[in-house]
Amino acid sequence: MRPSTISKAGPLRWLAVTAIASAALLASPPAAQVQGYPTQPVKVIVQQGAGGSIDVIARIMAEHISPAIGQQMVVINQPGAGGLVAARALAASPPDGYTLFLAASSVFVSLSEINKNLNFNIDDFVPIGFVGEQPFIIATSDKLGAKSLADVVALSKQRPEGLNFSAGTRGGLQHMTAEWFRARTGANLTMVHYPSTAAALSDVLSGRVPVIVDTLSGLGGAATGAGMTMLGVAAQQPLTRHPQVPTIAGILPDFNASGWFVLVGPRGTPPAVVEKISEGLRKALADPALQKKFADLSNEVRSMSPAELAVFIKAEQEKWRPIVRQVAPQQ
């Protein structure tokens, strides 16, 4: 700007313009910082405590993505309220790419429906990449004496009190899957919520809560040990490692339900940062060593771009919305 222009505008106006310009520069990361990203460890929030299935997935991912991005990825456990604590932590984080969230499906599918007073918008989270999915399994205590899902439905209707059904945390996708099964079959089921699968398993094995819905990795050794039988998997095809377990779709067409995990950033994360992490994730998912570890957990890998992930999340929200809205008023 020429000196004559400054004098006409006045010194106060010139200072105001300068301050606004400076604030704009501070509000968005300088290009040099984005190009050099990351220059320090990247934190990944998970909504479970250490040892949970999401935590295990996160730590395997972090181990393999760190070399691809040139910095260590550190897992931060922030359990509570079905993912609400972790989601709030991400929403409050600066959008600089140094705090991310490995979100479970329930965060996008049911969290905002069940918690009407969120002070942030889940849909503002920035999609980065799809990390994997695990189909849900319905299993029973052998003390129940059920040999099939049809037996479970029949027994529930024969008993005035019905059957107790372990359905994970309230509002989670395990819960929604159990509610969907109840709606499709008319089974007389009472949902019993536990903070973790580990907390539920002793009651399931004892027969106190004879039916459970969870993933293979969540059930762990109990899935194939004495005292429990897997009666159905909510997938298009039987489990590769357990082909004897029938698909639920065999008796309930199109009954497909899985817990999925996606990597997201806070609102405003720069596109260049999103692409850097997304590219690193794609390289990690292509690593045979990671693929074997995920396969051992029945965690199926599907590489997606950020744009493809946004479409996937939208489709899942639409699929589950009718069930979630039936359940939400009860919360």
Which residues share a beta bridge with 42? 73
Say what the pLDDT of residue 297 is.
84
Q: Does residue 29 form part of some domain?
A: no
- The kind and range of the H/E element at 200 are helix 197-206
Q: Are 102 and 299 in contact (CB under 8 A)?
A: no
Which residues are CB-contacts of 305 (< 8 A; sequence separation ≥ 6)? 129, 278
Indicate whether 212 pLDDT > 60: yes
Say what the pLDDT of residue 34 is.
67
Going from the C-alpha of 247 to that of each of 128, 137, 176, 207, 283, the distances in angstroms are 31, 9, 18, 24, 32
**One-letter amino acid of 109:** V
Together in a domain, 232 and 263? no
CA pair distance 285, 281, nearest whole angstrom: 6
Together in a domain, 144 and 227? yes
Which residues share a beta bridge with 309? none
pLDDT digits over 251-286, tens only?
999 999 999 999 999 999 999 999 999 999 999 999
Q: Does residue 15 form part of some domain?
A: no
Say what the pLDDT of residue 58 is.
96
DSSP string of 108-133?
Answer: HHTHHHH-TT-SS-GGGSEEEEEEEE
Together in a domain, 172 and 276? no
Q: Does residue 275 form part of some domain?
A: yes
Q: Are 100 and 263 in contact (CB under 8 A)?
A: yes
Q: What angle do CA 240, 246, 251 make, to 5 degrees?
A: 145
Say what the pLDDT of residue 22 is.
40
CA pair distance 146, 46, nearest whole angstrom: 36
The domain that holds 162 is classified in CATH as: 3.40.190.10
Please give the torsion angle defined by the CA atoms of residues 239, 240, 241 and 243, in that order, rounded to the nearest 10 degrees: 60
Indicate whether 17 pLDDT > 70: no
250, 274, 304: which is the final residue of a domain?
250
Together in a domain, 192 and 273? no
Lowest-pLDDT choice from 4-18, 45-59, 134-148: 4-18
Greater pLDDT, 230 or 22:
230
| pLDDT band at residue 13 under the 50/70/90 scheme | very low
| pLDDT band at residue 33 under the 50/70/90 scheme | low
Tell me whether strands 42-46 and 99-104 are parallel, antiparallel or unpaired: parallel
CA pair distance 273, 259, nearest whole angstrom: 26
Say what the pLDDT of residue 330 is.
53
Residue with tokens 């070399």: 67
Q: Does residue 27 form part of some domain?
A: no
Count of domains forming the chain:
2
The DSSP code for 92 is: T
Greater pLDDT, 307 or 216:
307
Together in a domain, 235 and 175? yes
- The kind and range of the H/E element at 322 are helix 306-327
Instruction: Give the mean pLDDT of 95-101.
Output: 97
Q: Does residue 236 form part of some domain?
A: yes
Say what the pLDDT of residue 138 is.
97
Q: Does residue 19 form part of some domain?
A: no
250, 278, 305: which is the final residue of a domain?
250
Together in a domain, 160 and 302? no
CA pair distance 93, 122, nearest whole angstrom: 14
Query: How high does pLDDT run on average in the chain?
Result: 88
Which residues are CB-contacts of 193 (< 8 A; sequence separation ≥ 6)? 167, 168, 169, 170, 175
Give helix 173-185 / helix 306-327 axis angle, nearest 10°: 60
Together in a domain, 94 and 128? yes
The domain that holds 302 is classified in CATH as: 3.40.190.150
Lowest-pLDDT choice from 24-28, 200-204, 235-239, 269-273: 24-28
Structural domain boundaries, residue 48: 41-134+259-330
Reply yes or no: is the peptide bond before residue 210 cis, omega within 30 of 0. Answer: no
List the structure tokens of 248: 């639920």
Together in a domain, 141 and 237? yes
Q: Does residue 30 form part of some domain?
A: no
Q: Does residue 4 form part of some domain?
A: no
250, 273, 307: which is the final residue of a domain?
250
Query: What is the end-to-end Cα distance of the chain in Å, rounded?
Result: 61
Together in a domain, 129 and 206? no
Together in a domain, 125 and 140? no
List the structure tokens of 37: 């990203």
Say what the pLDDT of residue 329 is.
64
Indicate whether 15 pLDDT > 60: no
Together in a domain, 302 and 235? no
Together in a domain, 202 and 102? no
List the structure tokens of 311: 């479409």
